Chain A
Amino acid sequence: MSIITQYTNRLRDRLDVLPTWVRALGLLLVVALAFYLPYLNVLPFAYIRTDLSATGTDWASVLFLVVVYMIVAVGLNVVIGLAGLLDLGYVGFYALGAYSVALFGSTSSPVVEAIQNKFGLSEEWAVPFAICVPIAIAMALIAGVILGAPTLRLRGDYLAIVTMGFGEIIRICARNLDNVTNGAAGITNVPVPPGPEVDGRPFFNVSEPERWYWLALVVLIILIWMARRLEHSRVGRAWLAIREDEDAAAIMGVAAFKYKLWAFAIGASLGGMAGLLFGSKQQYVEPNGFMLNLSFLFVAMVVIGGSGNILGVLIGAFLLTYLPERFREFQEWRPFAFGVALVAVMILRPQGLVPSRRRAREFEDRKVEAEEAAADV
């Protein structure tokens, strides 16, 4: 076992034996700090801000993006980390979430215009945001089931290519279906969550990104709680069993296909949720925002952080979103550095930066097995 793993394990053991109230207090402090982050301006901690130089990005917007990608990572973790299904088209669900809220909620979307004409509604009318949310989640969920039902019976590697195709199909459809999605021009006027007007402007507006950040943070916390409950439920144990050995799980009476479909659908709906937040904050969606590379980025977040462990994937999402924004000066070099980092991290720490303990132990076993096999030859 590497020294880092030993050290983190010891740290975790120490944390585990602390009284519940101390741990709750610690958690509360972390959450409070997370809410305070946009205002963080005390040196030396302020160096983590991304807007220190003139060319920097707005700090609260970066935080918002980090949290949205954390939601994505939590969702994808259900699919990859828990159920062990390789989904390379996750961006498709993300795009579906963003596009649903735009298509149904924006006054300038062709779908809303069609509904207006059909029922003789005023030009101001659009589906309210509160209804767009379940629509977006449902669209992503249904897409997950439609995609999963025929493909989840395939072996893992085929699943990867089919999901990748799905991600591309969603984007190409968004780009080409001019009379539904406005094509490459995209949709403007995506609705924002309702709220009291402050200074004559809606509560959620473009110039106050920290409100968006707090909203996303609340959503993230709720989703993390739900994901944790799922992980430790009967469904979660079924996923782990399928991930480790699908045949053995099936023999033990786990309905593998059913639970895989569940994982797919739940993961998809979380992706849709993240997309919805993103589209709503931007107030504009366009097909080029959902390129396939984003899917790879999502998978990298989960795997680098430590798939199967929520804390791990949160850290992965944070690093892969925050670092490129922090080092915007080196924009031209970012993809190169990103590639080098991917290879280096994975070779040095294939289990991810913060793996779950169960996962870490499995890796140790596999390593020993590989070494023994090599020694036999």
Chain B
Amino acid sequence: MDFDALINGLDRHTLDGITRGSIYALVALGYTMVYGVMKLINFAHSEVFMVGTWATLGTYTLIGASSGMGVGMIIGATVLALLAAMLASAGTALAVERIAYRPLRKKGAPPLIFLITGIGCSMVLVETFGQVLKVFFGPPFGRVLVNVPAVLPTKVVFTIPGIDLAITNTRIIIIFGAIAMMVALDFFVNKSRLGRGVRAVAQDPDTASLMGVNQDRVIMLVFVLGGAMAGVAALLFTIQYDSTKFDIGFIIGVKAFTAAVLGGIGNLRGALIGGLVLGVVEVYASTVWDSSWADVTAFVVLVLVLMFRPTGLLGESLGKARA
């Protein structure tokens, strides 16, 4: 137990936690939206994120990006990578929906079966990058940690006076990027015509169908949106950690799902709050004890919150008043 370390570096640890939490929150959106509409935990969503990190790496490799380029090239490469990651992740999410979930939906299978096909898809995707592509293309695919070029060099932009907290450009991009995407998504779901369809299906699928909302299309839209958010998270992740791995999705997925539940599953704003809280709690815990206890603390916090607020911090439901 080392509370001094926590108190002394409180500002720094909070910033670390928020950075980590932003990525969780973006991934959590995918879980929460799919859950809101289909009442289903999409277990393959973690791998949707993983595919995004590989798409980023692929883009950098294709255009020959590396660290130490000019400003124009940095922006160009990052934007390209962002688009590629969003496209790849959204495509993967859509494919998972079509292959693993839609046939079951047509049969009216119980939720447990969706869970198993989700786990199956997740294994297939993990193994695609860990084994199948390795056999065809060799490295960098395979069961090893792969470096992603640090296209965006980390620089201190300004220092908050008084507490001496250095803010780097990557931190700004990650935190504000995540929040901007969330606001955009929240706006989309609440204000646009398509978003109204999403909310309608979340509230009452049958009535929504009667009112002329195409349920299949809404579900596809939800998977695409969730996937695109995971793609953004993937790019931000590579900016922060400069690496990827075939099984990187699993732990992020578990955390993001925990974040979604923590905030109130099915609730978009809940995902943001849940992600940030979880990120901060984890960083605090790894400072006070050590990093190996971070996961335990995260789950204990989850259980405690659920005991006193069984529907998460902000309450659930995508369709009802809140989101």
A residues neighboring B (CB under 8 Å): 80, 86, 150-151, 153-158, 160-162, 164-166, 168-169, 172-173, 175-176, 292, 296, 299-300, 303-304, 307, 332-333, 335-336, 338-343, 346-347, 350, 363, 366-367, 369-371, 373-374, 377
Contact = CB atoms under 8 A, between A and B. Distances in A.
B108 interface: yes
Given A151-B306, A335-B123, 5 more contacts: A168-B296, A300-B116, A304-B116, A339-B120, A343-B121
Contacts of A160: 41, 115
A267 B306 CA distance: 23
19 contacts: A154-B306, A156-B111, A158-B261, A162-B302, A165-B299, A169-B296, A172-B293, A332-B131, A333-B127, A336-B131, A342-B119, A342-B120, A343-B117, A343-B121, A346-B117, A347-B103, A369-B108, A371-B106, A374-B106
By Cβ-Cβ distance, the 3 closest A-B pairs, closest first, are A370-B108, A342-B120, A339-B123
A160 to B, nearest CB: 7
A370 B117 contact: no
B6 interface: no
B299 A86 contact: no
Please classify how large the interface on chain B is, using the bins under 10, 10 to 19, 20 to 34, 35 or more. 35 or more
B119 A296 contact: yes
Given A340-B124, A342-B123, A154 B310 contact: yes
Contacts of B115: 86, 160, 299
B120 A367 contact: no
Interface in B103-131: 103-113, 115-117, 119-124, 126-128, 130-131
A341 B127 CA distance: 13
A164 B303 CA distance: 11
A173 B109 CA distance: 37
Interface string B82-122: 00000000000000000110011111111111011101111
B28 to A, nearest CB: 12
A172 B296 contact: yes
Interface string B179-215: 0000000000000000000000000001001100001
A161 B258 contact: yes
B257 interface: yes
B307 interface: yes
Interface in B49-104: 99-100, 103-104
Contacts of B131: 332-333, 335-336
B132 interface: yes
Contact of A335 (B104, B113, B127): B127
A346 B116 contact: yes
Contacts of B113: 303, 346, 350
B265 to A, nearest CB: 7
B16 interface: no
Contacts of A307: 112
Contacts of B296: 168-169, 172-173
Nearest to A243: B110
Interface string B210-223: 10000100000000
Contacts of B130: 335
* Secondary structure dominating the interface of B: helix
Given A172-B295, A336-B128, A336-B131, A158 B123 contact: no
A363 B109 contact: yes
Nearest to B265: A157
Q: In this complex, which of A150, A155, A347, A367 has the most chain B Cβ atoms within 10 angstroms of its Cβ?
A: A347
Contacts of A155: 310
A164 B131 CA distance: 27
A96 B300 CA distance: 18
Contact of B120 (A158, A172, A332, A343): A343
B104 A347 contact: yes
A172 B265 CA distance: 26
A343 B100 CA distance: 7
B123 A157 contact: no
Contacts of B258: 161, 165
Contacts of B24: none
A335 B125 CA distance: 10
Contacts of A350: 104, 107, 109-110, 113
Nearest to B290: A176
A373 B206 contact: yes
Contacts of A296: 119
B8 interface: no
B254 interface: yes
A144 B188 CA distance: 43
A377 B213 CA distance: 10
A342 B116 contact: yes
B35 interface: yes
Nearest to A337: B127
A162 B306 contact: yes
Given A307-B112, A335-B126, A370-B106, A377 B119 contact: no
Contacts of B127: 333, 335-336, 339
A232 B279 CA distance: 47
A175 B261 CA distance: 26
Nearest to B99: A343
A80 B206 contact: no
A170 B39 CA distance: 28
A175 B292 contact: yes
A346 B99 CA distance: 11
A165 B117 contact: no
Contacts of A366: 107-110
B117 A347 contact: yes
Given A86-B115, A339-B120, A373-B206, A150 B303 contact: yes
A335 B119 CA distance: 11
B108 A300 contact: no
B107 A161 contact: no
Contacts of B254: 164, 168, 292
B209 to A, nearest CB: 5
A153 B310 contact: yes
Contacts of B206: 373
Nearest to A155: B310
Contact of B107 (A154, A169, A370): A370
A303 B114 CA distance: 11
A59 B295 CA distance: 38
Contact of B209 (A80, A300, A342, A377): A377
